[in-house]
Amino acid sequence: MEVRSDISQVLSQMRQMKSQVQDQTRTSAEIGQVMDINQPRNVEKDDAPEFSQLLKMAVDQVNDTQKTAGALATAYEKGDPTVDIPEVMIASQKASVAFQAMTQVRNKLISAYEDIMKMPI
């Protein structure tokens, strides 16, 4: 039985993403325990990108993923011998998951905005 390199690569990426999320969760919890909210933070503006830039980068990455999946599907439909169906299906699923995640982020942002707008002044 041959192990497909593209499936192994996807599994590897999923494991890396899981460990990154776990590391960030641990770091956030540790920061929350150590950091005093009343003390001013010295954060320079150039240290981190703005929220709008992060959101744009995320949307662009989802768009790129969808374009890649579409291009692979088109190549497979045209009979390109270098593209096989598992590769097309994996790219399609990646694009689908990325789009669903982006939709959930959008829904949470809208919900947060609505909650803020309902706050009394």
- Split into its structural domains, the chain has a count of 1
> In this structure, what DSSP letter does residue 86 have?
H
Residue at 15 is within a domain? no
With the CA atoms of 106, 108, 114 and 116 taken in that order, what torsion angle do they form, in degrees rounded to the nearest 10?
A: -120
> Which tokens is 40 given?
């001013």
The answer as to whether 19 is a domain residue is no
Instruction: Let me know if residue 77 belongs to a domain.
Output: yes
- Domain coverage including residue 68: 50-121
Query: How far is residue 98 from each of residues 48, 65, 102, measured CA to CA in Å?
Result: 23, 8, 6
Q: Is the model's pLDDT at 120 over the cut of 60?
A: yes
What's the pLDDT tens digit per position in 21-75?
677 656 545 545 544 445 555 555 567 788 888 889 999 999 999 999 999 999 9
Tell me whether residue 36 is in a domain: no
Q: pTM of this prediction?
A: 0.57
